[in-house]
């Protein structure tokens, strides 16, 4: 990403701190000691890409989970392993195929998160 910089505006940090202290009042007196940043890389519909990679026989992928990977990893791992072995997955994962972006079958969330653009 050529446009990613190392700068984070202090106003943004203060805004996040205020939101945190609304939920956890003891954070109200917290001070920033150190920090780091990186890109928040996630597919346009905010759902992972899982399955075979078109045009590359025998290559499978599972990425783009963001913060929800911890709850999705066990069933996705099981289903992807079954797919690799040529077994119909017990838990369907076809909705996560990378081809959904070309076919227009993106996943749209119930809470306002969905296809951006």
List per-block mean pLDDT (blocks of 10 residues) for the chain, which spans 117 residues.
73 89 90 81 88 95 86 93 96 94 85 52
Residue ranges covered by each domain of the chain: 1-38, 49-103
54, 42 in Cβ contact below 8 A? Answer: no
* Angle, alpha carbons 46-117-77 (nearest 5°): 20
21, 28 in Cβ contact below 8 A? Answer: yes
In this predicted structure, what is the pLDDT of residue 36? 81
Tell me the C-alpha distance between 99 and 80, whole Å: 16
In this predicted structure, what is the pLDDT of residue 48? 92
| pTM of the predicted model over 0.85 | no
Rounded to the nearest angstrom, the gap between the alpha carbon of residue 108 and the centroid of all alpha carbons in its chain is: 14
Residue 60 bridge partners (DSSP):
52
Say which residue the tokens 């700068």 belong to.
7
Tell me the C-alpha distance between 25 and 21, whole Å: 5
């Amino acid at each position: 990403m050529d446009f990613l910089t190392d700068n984070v505006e202090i106003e943004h940090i203060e805004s996040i701190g205020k939101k945190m202290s609304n939920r956890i009042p003891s954070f109200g007196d917290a001070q920033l000691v150190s920090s780091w940043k990186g890109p928040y890389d996630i597919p346009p519909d905010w759902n992972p890409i899982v399955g075979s990679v078109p045009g590359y026989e025998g290559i499978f992928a599972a990425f783009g989970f963001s913060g929800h990977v911890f709850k999705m990893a066990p069933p996705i791992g099981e289903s992807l392993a079954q797919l690799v072995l040529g077994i119909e997955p017990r838990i369907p994962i076809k909705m996560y195929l990378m081809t959904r972006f070309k076919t227009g079958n993106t996943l749209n969330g119930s809470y306002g998160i969905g296809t951006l653009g």
